[in-house]
Structure 1
Amino acid sequence: MSMRKKDAFTLIELLTVIAVIAILAAISFGITSGVYQRQARTKAAAELSALSAALESYRAQYGTYPITNDPGVMLKALANRVKWDGPSSDDTVNISERRPFIEPSKYDIAGTGEFWNDTQTLVDPWGNGYHYEFSTGSSWKRFGFILFSDGPDGTSAAPVDGIMNKDHADNADNIYAGSN
């Protein structure tokens, strides 16, 4: 009786190798998607922090935050593309010569035309627009602004009297900045 030399892998050995490769691929996919979500949340928090600082600088110069609830108008105000008509306004300075509070090219912007166009707004890492709300009205319990991202799920519950309900299910993954 002669012994034959084994020339090939058995079906069981091939299936075992394929299963191990599939498990390793699934693990690496899970790790990389988690890294992406953490990176996106970090980017949104950093952008909101920078926008919040720009809004504070705007208030220091003009005495109030941009008086609008439209994030596109807020973008134009922080880029100094909106003429200020307040009491401390310097009408002799051309708008394009004023120092911007933000550099729009460092942010993701959705819309058409140039960055100071009314149809443009800042977007978060998930492609949703950032929210900006401002009120000087006495109906708000606190004065100032609310600046936030809807987060990965793209949903949020509206603020009531200038306060976000962070316990609401739609606000669970939101990212906030602001003075309230």
Structure 2
Amino acid sequence: MKKTILFTPENRAKRAFTLVEILIVIAIIAVLAALTTRVADSVTQAQGRSRAAADMAAIAVGLDAFKGMYNDYPRLSAKGGVENCARRLYKCLAGQSYMKVEDRQVKFIDVDKESDYKPLLDVTLMRIGDPSDPDAPVSNYDNDRNAFIDPWGNPYLYYYDTSIMVGSIGAWEGTSFFLMSMGEDGESAEVQSMFSNGIMPNEDDYRSNVKNVDNIVYGWD
């Protein structure tokens, strides 16, 4: 004979979750979501730093090729501002401009766009854009406003080293230029002074400034 189970109000109460149990489940879900978000942010940050380091390594190869052609690295200054310097660096490595020194004056000559100029690195593999509006679509690779952009939307910074002490910091291995990404916060201390004298401070002094903590410097990172 089948046994019939009657669902009385008392039985239903025993089968339901209590308010405490529901709150515990919600708290566990919230903790797991927070941990997942933190891990995702860390992965994104690591990917950004990795991409920036790879970009700067490619730019460095292009700069060495430029030196091989013109016997010196691009002598760029910050007189026209960081963005203009970044645009000029792009033109030099994209094969759209070359450097000429006459009577101790540095001149950059734009190449005729109709000529068969050759880029010194594959710009199609880099993120490029207008530093003043890095998210705008790139219409063409000959745009005078183009620059190499880091993963956080800022132009890579290039410094021509004017110091006779070049190579005194072992990590630089005798290079005559500095490359830097300002990192996720887009901030950096001492930028203008480094543009003016071409000399980077030593790493400990540089990293001690909170604005430079997340910066990525070619040769240090």
TM exceeding 0.5: yes
Task: Between 149-158 and 76-85, report the one with greater CA deviation.
Answer: 76-85
2:187 aligned with 1:155: yes
Conserved? CA contact 2:91–2:97, under 8 Å: yes
Give the Cα separation in 2 of the matches to 1:140 and 1:71: 24
Distance 2:58 2:17 in 1: 59
Q: Is the 8 A contact 2:90 2:148 kept in 1?
A: yes
Q: Paired residue for 2:32?
A: 24
Provide the secondary structure at the position in 2 that maps to 1:72. helix
Residues of 1 paired with 2:216 and 2:164: CA distance?
21
Q: What letter corresponds to residue 132 of structure 1 in structure 2? A: Y
Tell me the distance in 2 between the aligned counterparts of 1:79 and 1:101: 6
Which structure 1 residue ranges, 5 or more long, are not aligned? 88-92
| Residues 45-81 of structure 1: per-residue CA shift (max 9 Å, x gap) | 1100110011111111221112323121111111101
1:128 is aligned to 154
* Superposition RMSD in Å: 2.7
Q: Shift of the alpha carbon at 1:174?
A: 1.4
Say which SS state the counterpart of residue 17 (structure 2) adopts.
coil
Aligned counterpart in structure 2 of residue 45 of structure 1, from 32, 53, 73: 53
Find out whether 1:176 has 2:220 as its counterpart. no
Q: Given residue 147 of structure 1, which amino acid in structure 2 is its aligned partner?
A: L
Partner residue, 1:75: 90
Higher Cα radius of gyration = 2
Question: Against the structure 1 CA distance between its residues 83 and 56, is the aligned structure 2 distance closer, same or farther, given a 3 Å change threshold?
Answer: closer
Amino acid at match of 2:91: K
1:162 maps to a residue whose letter is G
2:182 maps to amino acid: D
SS at match of 1:4: helix
Paired residue for 1:14, among 13, 22, 42? 22
Q: What is the percentage of aligned positions where both structures have the same residue?
A: 35
TM-score with structure 1 length normalisation? 0.81
- TM-fit CA distance, 1:84: 5.0
TM-score between both structures, scaled by the size of structure 2: 0.67
* Residue 200 (structure 2) pairs with residue 164 (structure 1): yes
Q: Distance in 2 between matches of 1:73 and 1:20?
A: 53
Question: What amino acid does structure 1 have at the position aligned with 2:61?
Answer: A
Structure 2: segments with no counterpart, 5+ residues: 1-7, 78-84, 103-110, 131-137, 167-174
